[in-house]
Amino acid sequence: MSGPVLLWEHIGAEYAEPLDPFLSRASDGFDIEDFFGSLLKANQWTGKLGDHLGEGALWEIPVNCETYNLAYVPALLEQHGCKVPRTWEQFFSTVGLLHQRSHGLTRGFAQRGTQVWHTMYTGYATQFWGYDARDFDEQGKCAIASAEGIAATQAFLDGLHRGGPSDWLNQRWYELAMDFAAGRYGLIVDSDHYVAFYEQDPGSAVQGKVGYAPPPLGPTGRRESNLWTWSLVMNARSRAKENAWRFIEWAAGRQFLLRAAFEGNMDPTRHSTWDDTRFRSITSQWGDFYNVARRLIEHDARVLITPLWNYREVAERWVRALRSAFAGDEGVAEALQSAAADIDAMRASH
């Protein structure tokens, strides 16, 4: 099991086996065209630095995906006189209002904050790219300290101080999902398959009470949603590659992935699963989740970050800058500029 950032490391180390030769002789029932094109594109790459995803070999078969939607609790917004935010400016304003008007009882928005690479990948990256900011420019130079990047990050950190998690530096994804399900937050932009926590966990306090929308618009009207796929990858050193492919065909086949959708795999990767009558019936009880999630997969979501063999190292340095600026150890511009210089040095060494 792997995903875009992890896959790039595997490719760089020559651990991953291209799957196109196996696809060319796959069984008729496998039907690669049944997978969403955006998810296949996320797992295609030439392996060359600077080349975009969607070109080159197919390295993985996606069995689960994440896009980053806006989930919110309508009753909390209404109680405190707030509307569903359509823009990031409105989002961060609402964050502060929820916290202020609830006298601190409701936190405005949930957001990961620990020193791990994916702290920047979910809600923050979705907002960052929505501000027309980028990780690298066309010349391959780190661009996180651009004017747009500084503005996006300043808005993000200000929002955290006004109404983010009370202990943001220690917030992991699991606590965020569970705390949102417990009704402690008004808003979250993070993995849309958290819907399993919200709608299916017997202990959820928000079951049937959550609204779902696409991520907010940036200052220029741009909407972005980052994308991740959990996918099956083959070891290039395997001595049983035909057997490995037969396993991939089964584990990513129509029958198994349809079954998985009713056992917690809430973001299917095949059209046929989304079109299944039973799946549509179950998800129809979750507000607009189905329509929003499918729209993001089919139209809006993409892997925003630049493919690099060492992107986890890049992301971890970026997250250190965010945490440093949040703690007040550095200004936002200073923290991003220092990180950008280090990231350029990292890239030059690979």
Give the three-class secondary structure for 348: helix
Structure tokens at 10: 């595997």
Condensed to tens digits (0 to 9), the pLDDT of residues 298-338 reads 999 999 999 999 999 999 999 999 999 999 999 999 999 99
pLDDT of residue 331: 98
> Do both 196 and 312 map to the same domain?
yes
Q: How many domains does the chain have?
A: 2
Q: Are residues 238 and 206 in the same domain?
A: no
Residues 188, 71: contact at Cβ < 8 Å?
A: yes
Based on the fold, state whether residues 91 and 212 are members of the same structural domain: yes
Helix (H) or strand (E) holding 349: none
Distances (CA, A) of 337 to 120, 149, 232: 16, 10, 37
d(CA 138, CA 236): 32
Task: Decide: helix, strand or coil at residue 29.
Answer: coil
Q: What per-residue confidence (pLDDT) applies to 350? A: 67
pLDDT band of 1, cuts 50, 70, 90: confident
Examine the domain organization and report whether 34 and 75 are in the same domain.
Answer: no
pLDDT at position 349 over 90: no
**Averaged pLDDT score across all residues of the chain:** 96
Quick one: 124 and 230 in the same domain? no
Contact 68, 192 (CB under 8 A): yes
Same domain as 167, residue 118: yes
Q: Nearest-CA neighbor of 123 among 327, 320, 319, 339?
A: 319
For the stretch 121-180, pLDDT in tens is 999 999 999 999 999 999 999 999 999 999 999 999 999 999 999 999 999 999 999 999
| One domain, residues 19 and 83 | no
CA distance to 19, 124, 133, per residue, from 190 (Å) = 30, 9, 19
Helix (H) or strand (E) holding 122: none
- Looking at the structure, tell me whether residues 233 and 204 fall in a common domain: no
pLDDT at position 160: 98
CA–CA distance, 301 with 223 (Å, rounded to integer): 9
CB 341 within 8 A of CB 139: no
pLDDT at 348 (0 to 100): 80
Whose CA is closest to 215, among 185, 182, 188?
Answer: 188
Per-residue pLDDT for 260 more than 80?
A: yes
* 192/212 same-domain check: yes
User: Are the C-beta atoms of residues 215 and 224 closer than 8 Å to each other?
Assistant: yes
Q: What is the DSSP string of 213-266?
A: EPPPB-TTS---B-EEEEEEE-BTT-S-HHHHHHHHHHHTSHHHHHHHTTTT--
Asked if residue 18 lies in contact with residue 58, where contact means CB atoms within 8 angstroms, the answer is yes
Task: Map tokens 């808005």 to a residue.
Answer: 155
Shared-domain flag, residues 49 and 192: no
Mean pLDDT of 258-273: 94
Q: What is the pLDDT of residue 266?
A: 86
Instruction: Give per-residue pLDDT as tens, 53-95.
Output: 999 999 999 999 999 999 999 999 999 999 999 999 999 999 9
CA–CA distance from 139 to each of 42, 50, 143 (Å)? 22, 9, 10
The CATH number of the domain holding residue 19 is 3.40.190.10
Cα-atom radius of gyration of the chain, to the nearest Å?
A: 20
Q: How far apart are CA 273 and CA 253, in angstroms?
A: 11
Q: 202 CB contacts (<8 Å, ≥6 apart)?
A: none
Domain that holds residue 47: 4-65+226-300
**Residues 212, 77: one domain?**
yes
Residues 243 and 104 in one domain: no
What pLDDT, in 10s, does the model give residues 181-238?
Answer: 999 999 999 999 899 999 999 999 999 999 999 999 999 999 999 999 999 999 999 9
Q: The whole model's pTM is what?
A: 0.96
Contacts 24+ apart (CB under 8 A), 259-265: 260/63, 260/64, 264/196, 264/200, 265/63, 265/64, 265/193
